[in-house]
Amino acid sequence: MGLVKMAVILSALVLFVGISTIAHAQKTEGALYQITVNYGQNLGQMIEAGRYDYVSYDITVTNFPVQEKGTAEVSIKLVHFDRSMRTEEAIVELNEMGLRPATLPELLAFGAKYPQVQCQFPVVALDSIWQDRSGDRNAPYLWGSYAGERRLDLTSIRGRWDWNYRFAAVPK
């Protein structure tokens, strides 16, 4: 096979993979994900329902107390700004869209019902912030790998969010 023909085939393959990835991302981001948050569960039970491969040891009932009671039907929208931005910018833009950041219990219910989404991109809940001993403020987020590993972790909110993060948000 000649080099020109191989280059054409390789270019077509790269174009196909790029188009299918973009189409998949657009399909996932426009969706509202319906979840049920069971506030009758304690935080440990909510985490256990997600069957995560790793959970940050700082995600505890002491650091993230759950005040709500009963159950709630909630719609989650994953907002992708497709650019690097600060936390304050993300919250302002969510507000302008008629959305509020999701809470940790909402994020956990989302992760339990839609476990493979976090393997495509990290999903953060900015309405549940915990300040550690050093004064750093952290938000819970879900992330994973294409191999299917799923993690529930904390990340600092002081820097800039990479372009690939999705912000879990709820219509007001």
The string of pLDDT tens digits covering residues 63-114 is 999 999 999 999 999 999 999 999 999 999 999 999 999 999 999 999 999 9
Asked whether residue 26 falls in the same domain as residue 36, the answer is no
The model's pTM: 0.82
Into how many domains does the chain fold? 2
- Given this model, what pLDDT does residue 28 score? 41
- Given this model, what pLDDT does residue 121 score? 96
- Given this model, what pLDDT does residue 151 score? 98
Asked whether residue 26 falls in the same domain as residue 49, the answer is no
Asked whether residue 3 falls in the same domain as residue 62, the answer is no
Asked whether residue 16 falls in the same domain as residue 44, the answer is no
Asked whether residue 139 falls in the same domain as residue 89, the answer is yes
Segments forming the whole domain that contains residue 127: 32-171
What HEC string does the chain produce?
Answer: CCHHHHHHHHHHHHHHHHHHHHHHHHHHHCCEEEEEEECCCCHHHHHHHHCCCEECCCCCCCCCCCCCCCEEEEEEEEECCCCCEEHHHHHHHHHHCCEEECCHHHHHHHHHHCCCHHHCCCEECCCCCEECCCCCEEEEEEEECCCCCEEEEEEECCCEECCCCEEEEEEC
Asked whether residue 121 falls in the same domain as residue 61, the answer is yes
Asked whether residue 20 falls in the same domain as residue 49, the answer is no
